[in-house]
Structure 1
């Protein structure tokens, strides 16, 4: 089977936004939004109060995001919901009024596309909410509701709010606020397919699918892909899968997944025993035990050989997200570890994805703390922000870092080196995770398509202050890399 994935994703750098906490701006014609009670922006987030961030606020920050080099946004859910994270969908066709409504989404879409940027929405299709019309009708009408077969009703009466009584309906992880759809019902299946089609037809550039592994009805995701791609073949479909996603990445379902295994291995290598396990859940994202360069190389090779190359190029690579502690907190605030992780993120095949605020040093442990309000400029870590900007621009400038092959070249203690090659152009990356400077010898001969003369005419694209004793002779590079630092060298 020929696998086709969206070409634009291979060149994209994503920025993930939790809308309630990123930015707030109220236009003149929606002044009523100023009259609702909200949590203080800098107060610790919780699961009930709203900070009031909205889509107008995101629009107001697009210059900032574009200047940093981000080319695509992934937003956690935006549809009407009685919850600040909006995974409790009330209406799949209406944007939450606190976010500015459908009008604000249309404006965001248009402004992004005017800039050549993309927009991916979060699709929550496993479960709805107690306020979803069809489920609410069941609560009101009981066994007489015409929508009774849309959900998994087991007995009567239903208890949607009183936890001392049995719920009598299936819900996601037994959270009665999240009634689970009956995906065996053809009407439910068709409804969800049409939701997916509708927003793509309205110019959205893709879907990130929430807990897609919970939908086990045969053929569901295959049909979803067929129908989405019929509307727009370049629409991106990525799923939330924490472990081995091979079952969903055979080319018949998703274009990629949130690549948590990459983040786990990367943080285990650069963070080592600095990883703060107390901030991580016992399941899901676990960047442990510490890895040396050989262990990291093995982990990376496993990932690269797990999926077809066209799929690997459209994986959504990340170091953190709205569901786990922030990368800065996972690493205990250790700056060198964070920068090494960022180098590896920006040079790996697939689309890198940065969680809002990471670039200015926003911290936060497991949810909801990781969803803090975006800090005011006086609180920004400007040096870290500059490093994000530099590495994103290096990725944009060097096509080999986006679509070139990946070859592990060196694993020595905590020194790791690899090459990316695209035709006669290439780049090499060397990481020293050791607490002392380390000398290295790199053999470039495995990158056989690139002539030695091309390497000789290259230049250091990042980290020139980290290297000493640099010497390039034929296909051999030697040098000494400063403690816990990295280097990117590229052909012209």
Structure 2
């Protein structure tokens, strides 16, 4: 696909040859080193393509092999080629021979000029992520703000740490910015989460992700004072075991959050390291023997940076059943994996470049403890160079999903678009990735170009095992960004129907708002059911149920079908069938789309639009109302 962001008019994309690395095009999704893998290319019958070649680069040297026609339909020609998995990451692309010259088909799309190998498709021979991850729907919980258990010991006279500022769950507002922000203590605990699992069940999630549960000097707990125990304020070790039992009894998964880049300055390791030059903990950090100064996360002195050049640090994190990463994966807790905080900075400091070996070390420790363990990295910008390296099995896809979706659906206060209720001031909403100028509103072409740019630099496997999210405890709430329930429904529709693992931040399903990460860490309003946005909650429940019911939404490929500035249309296709998805941010003219794989009619599966039928010329017309989100089953 050439740059669709440059075209202001609507245009169909179904005339383009296609391959995406999904099971429709690569039936063997977990090849071993040395295997020969069959790959397919779909070419429209009207295309001028005469021959197809697959180009690989075994051991770094280009090699071409001719593809052959595997089958024909009324509308398409399927070409078949073979790729030997010579290297742990084997790259390939297709050369399309046409009368007007050759074109390349890479993960970035079809182009008529030479492009670097970085956008080639990838086959990865490293051990795959656990199978359960493809069916996961993740729910992120910030423990202090989710729920307080019915028998919580914290009361008016309970003794709190000296850092904690006691807050009333129902009355004290969250301070979005200020020195008191990380110390506001509402008293949510792990048993409170256990008591509210029915809410998660009704919502349709099946994987619980907890932000850190270790003792700390803040309510966010990314400044751990120990990795050896659960914070007593959350109920201690026994409460985590009870939560794990309850989660696993439902057939769900439970993930923890580990800080591999830093600890808190109150961590027992750092206390020993900073008070004794001869302590074995000294090598765990970047401490200056002369000045006593130390490296910290972005200069925040409460978060001293870990030195992964230390053999002792690697041992403490990964070796033996009591190692930091391992002990919580074992009974009685049995976590199913970890989200790794600040994975992008882990092992990086000046000339120190340990990130990739640390990622592989941590993955080996997780999988060595439990073969079905998951390791997902936090990464706030370009994650593509850190995946497909036998380390992180996926990432939090802020740049390839969150940011483009925000920019497309952002409430428009300019008077030229879809300003909605709650949209006031969103033009000044800061970009959580740190980009100056706040969140810019962009059209669908720019959104797809952004998504494709990041997707093209990783394997299909890494892409679909990454978490797609509309926000988290570190960002504004999606409701604040889009400004309306209708806009949020479109956003959730994309979350539920695009490839990747959906991740939902607790409270988004109720329509809660927040302008930044701290402001978004809102206590769940269990005491105010009347404040819940029932329509938004219903949309979440229906769309997540649709994802669970339709295998194409979990295992299918992605083929863009149509774009105009306010409209996205795409197909999710698998050997089981195909779904057509329409997302509109505002109303527009109906879309006339030829070339869809439709036989007879296509029933609507979400959104309430009419059944689709092709006219005598094989053209399907999609409705022009909006904002709207619609899904049809084509076959």
Same fold (TM over 0.5): yes
Alignment partner of 2:487: what SS?
Answer: helix
Alignment of 1:404-443 (within 5 A): 404-434=556-586, 436-443=587-594
> Deviation at 1:247?
1.6
Q: Matched residues in 2 for 1:76 and 1:120: separation?
A: 9
Map Cα deviations across residues 384-407 of structure 1 (whole Å, 9 max, x no partner). Answer: 111111111111111101110110
Instruction: Choose from 178, 203, 215 the match for 2:303.
Output: 178
Map Cα deviations across residues 89-133 of structure 1 (whole Å, 9 max, x no partner). Answer: 111120111111111111111111110111111011111112211
Instruction: Choose from 109, 113, 119 the match for 2:244.
Output: 109
Match of 2:61 in 1: none
Match of 1:271 in 2: 410
TM-score w.r.t. structure 2 length?
0.70
Match of 2:169 in 1: 41
> Deviation at 1:441?
1.8
| Aligned partners of 2:603 and 2:610 also within 8 Å | no
Match of 1:221 in 2: 359
Q: Matched residues in 2 for 1:131 and 1:33: separation?
A: 27
Match of 2:281 in 1: 147
Q: Matched residues in 2 for 1:61 and 1:23: separation?
A: 7
Q: Matched residues in 1 for 2:590 and 2:261: separation?
A: 52
Map Cα deviations across residues 277-322 of structure 1 (whole Å, 9 max, x no partner). Answer: 5332474478843222222222232233221111111110001111
> Deviation at 1:252?
1.1
Match of 1:352 in 2: 502
Match of 2:456 in 1: 305
Pairing 1:489–2:632 present: yes
Alignment partner of 1:310: what SS?
Answer: helix
Map Cα deviations across residues 214-250 of structure 1 (whole Å, 9 max, x no partner). Answer: 2234311111112211222321111111122112111
Match of 1:192 in 2: 317
Please identify the structure whose Cα radius of gyration is greater. Answer: 2
Match of 2:272 in 1: 137
Between 356-365 and 216-225, the greater mean CA deviation after superposition: 216-225
Alignment of 1:179-328 (within 5 A): 179-193=304-318, 194-202=323-331, 203-216=334-347, 217-218=353-354, 219-261=357-399, 262-271=401-410, 273=412, 276-281=426-431, 283-284=433-434, 288-328=439-479
Q: Aligned pair in 2 of structure 1 residues 443, 299: CA closer, same or farther (>3 Å)? A: farther
> Deviation at 1:270?
2.1
Map Cα deviations across residues 404-463 of structure 1 (whole Å, 9 max, x no partner). Answer: 0110000123121000011141111011222x3420123354x5xxxx33xx35421111
| Aligned partners of 1:469 and 1:478 also within 8 Å | no
Q: Which has the larger helix fraction?
A: 1
Between 184-193 and 213-222, the greater mean CA deviation after superposition: 213-222
| Aligned partners of 1:429 and 1:487 also within 8 Å | yes
Q: Matched residues in 1 for 2:411 and 2:484: separation?
A: 11
> Deviation at 1:480?
2.0
**How many residues in Structure 1 have an aligned counterpart in Structure 2?**
470
| Aligned partners of 1:285 and 1:324 also within 8 Å | no
> Deviation at 1:181?
1.6
Instruction: Choose from 212, 225, 228 the match for 1:90.
Output: 225
> Deviation at 1:380?
0.8
Q: Which runs of 5 or more structure 2 residues have no equivalent in the other structure? A: 1-87, 89-124, 161-165, 175-180, 348-352, 414-422
Q: Matched residues in 2 for 1:477 and 1:320: separation?
A: 34
Match of 2:545 in 1: 393
Q: Aligned pair in 2 of structure 1 residues 192, 443: CA closer, same or farther (>3 Å)? A: farther
Q: Matched residues in 1 for 2:156 and 2:374: separation?
A: 33
What RMSD, in angstroms, separates the aligned Cα atoms of the two structures? Answer: 2.3
Between 176-185 and 385-394, the greater mean CA deviation after superposition: 176-185
Q: Matched residues in 2 for 1:252 and 1:211: separation?
A: 18
Match of 1:64 in 2: 199
TM-score w.r.t. structure 1 length?
0.90
Alignment of 1:2-81 (within 5 A): 2-3=125-126, 4-27=128-151, 35-36=158-159, 38-42=166-170, 43-45=172-174, 46-81=181-216
Alignment of 1:371-390 (within 5 A): 371-376=521-526, 377-390=529-542
Q: Matched residues in 2 for 1:190 and 1:39: separation?
A: 40
Q: Matched residues in 1 for 2:191 and 2:611: separation?
A: 51
Match of 1:479 in 2: 622
Map Cα deviations across residues 45-90 of structure 1 (whole Å, 9 max, x no partner). Answer: 3211211101101111101101110110111101111210000111
